[in-house]
Amino acid sequence: MTQVPQRPALYAPGSILKPLPPEQFVDLRVGEASPDDLTGDLALNAETRWEAMAGRDYLTPNELFYVRNHAPTPRIEPSRWRLRVEGPGVKRTLEIGYDELLRLPETSFVRALECAGNGRALFEEVQGRATPGTPWRLGAIGVAEWTGVPLREILERAGIKASAQEVMPEGLDAVRMRRPMPLEKALEEDVIVAYAMNGEPLPQDHGFPARVIVSRWAAVASVKWVGRIHVSETPLSSPWNTDKYVLTGGGFGAGRIPVEAQGLKSALELPWPARLRRGRHTIGGRSWSAQGVITRVEYSVDGEPWRAARLVEPNVPGAWVRWSFGWDARTGRHDVRARAMDTAGNVQPDETPFNDLGYLYGAVVGHPVWVR
Ligand SMILES: Nc1nc2c(c(=O)[nH]1)N[C@H]1C(S)=C(S)[C@@H](COP(=O)(O)O)O[C@H]1N2
Ligand SMILES: [Mo]
């Protein structure tokens, strides 16, 4: 069992939430920031710089893991924290404290967490059509080992009624971020209430003391600082599945389809744009699919025929695979591309269907590389 040390009280008892200054969004990238900047009180949106992943192990270290907040990070004192499970879909209201949560049957697995908007800036930079919202390139993804209690264990302790339909975790942040999922999704074995990330207690910005991890779904479903789980007998809605995080406009017309499952992407472990000295280089990258396991990754420089990159184990379903290829770089400006394929038969396309809010960019990206 992963040992999670008790944290000291972060502030005086009385309220479990410390009022914080008005939203201040800081546009910085993980890797440019000092560790202090990454654990502060700010509503922080920070993406992992891909060059910071070059040559690293499989997992994203906690301090390099992207942060996406809709409101400032709340500071929660674990001894006062409670998770309440309630609603017409359960037989009784259940309250679980932090120590109790740590004593429930636990599970650990390695999975990616990826923002639905990852790659949004590329709609403009590659496809020439801008969308509003946080302009992530490809760094709004990370892979970690998550440890926690299966949501099923917790729901069963509250007694799931035969009529139960949807499950909506709610965060304790100022916006009370919440988003529903069908009961069947909530009961999957890799949907958990997590309290540890890469063997450490969840960092504050990643949801301390506990967050939901909904494997394979856009990370907006993985509610941080979870305080309440509502179980309904009817379909539920929240601004995050009706107005935000929906596919609408472009090829989707007037419909509003909530973003759920993630797709397929690849990224090079290089700065954007990259600058290299001429000569022989090993170029590394990672590819991931929420729909299956990556079976093959190909690369192409300056429009030359696609060739296979060398995959590096492990290749965990629902996480990513590392790969590399050798390149003899000549002076000039180059366009380096990678595309992945998965066991579900998906291949990264040359273009992503446009949608107004810029979700699920999955097309092949020409990475600009200057060589001198
Ligand atoms: N309570 C709460 N949970 C949240 C969010 C939030 O703002 N508040 N952001 C969501 C979104 S949009 C993403 S992409 C992920 C980011 O998780 P991370 O900051 O740990 O990388 O958390 C999700 N869970
Ligand atoms: Mo997100």
pLDDT digits (tens, 9 = 90+) for 195-245: 999 999 998 889 999 999 999 999 999 999 999 999 999 999 898 988 889
CA of 68 to the centre of ligand 2 (A): 6
**Any idea which ligand is nearest the CA of 176?**
1
The one-letter code for the residue type at 5 is: P
CA of 356 to the centre of ligand 2 (A): 16
CA of 304 to the centre of ligand 1 (A): 39
Q: What is the reported pTM?
A: 0.89
Question: What is the number of the ligand 1 atom nearest to the C-alpha of 68?
Answer: 19
Report the distance separating Cα 356 and Cα 362, nearest Å: 15
pLDDT of residue 43: 53
Residue nearest to atom 18 of ligand 1 (CA): 67
Residue nearest to atom 9 of ligand 1 (CA): 69
Enter the DSSP assignment of 53. G
Report the distance separating Cα 344 and Cα 366, nearest Å: 24
Structure confidence at residue 28 as a pLDDT band (50, 70, 90): very low
CA of 215 to the centre of ligand 2 (A): 14
How high is the mean pLDDT of the chain? Answer: 87
In testing the pocket of ligand 1, which one of 63, 220, 226 has its CB within 8 Å of the most ligand atoms? 220
- Cβ atoms of 262 and 308 closer than 8 Å: no
| 30 or 239: which leads in pLDDT | 239
Same fold, 22-258 and 264-371: no
Q: How do beta strands 332-342 and 367-371 pair?
A: antiparallel
Query: Domain spanning 264-371 has what CATH number?
Result: 2.60.40.650
Q: Residue 165 phi/psi, 5° resolution? A: -125, -50
Question: What is the number of the ligand 1 atom nearest to the C-alpha of 69?
Answer: 7
CA of 223 to the centre of ligand 1 (A): 6
Structure confidence at residue 3 as a pLDDT band (50, 70, 90): very low
Q: Which of 139, 189, 186, 198 is nearest to 160 (CA)?
A: 186
- Domains of the chain, by residue range, sit at 22-258, 264-371
Residue nearest to atom 12 of ligand 1 (CA): 220
Question: What is the number of the ligand 1 atom nearest to the C-alpha of 240?
Answer: 12
Residue 47 scores a pLDDT above 90: no
Ligand 1 proximal residues by C-beta, below 6 Å: 65-70, 113, 115, 171, 173, 177, 206, 219-220, 222-225
Q: Which range among 2-11, 36-45, 231-240, 305-314 has the greatest average pLDDT?
A: 305-314
CA of 116 to the centre of ligand 1 (A): 11
CA of 68 to the centre of ligand 1 (A): 5
What topology is assigned to 22-258 in CATH? Sulfite Oxidase; Chain A, domain 2 (3.90.420)
120 contact partners, CB below 8 Å, separation of at least 6 = 131, 133, 134, 135, 136, 358, 359, 361
Report the distance separating Cα 245 and Cα 250, nearest Å: 15
Residues 158-182, mean pLDDT to the nearest whole number = 94
| 33 or 254: which leads in pLDDT | 254
Residue nearest to atom 21 of ligand 1 (CA): 67
Residue 348 scores a pLDDT above 60: yes
Phi-psi category of residue 98: left, alpha or beta, with phi > 0 → left and psi -120 to 50 → alpha: alpha
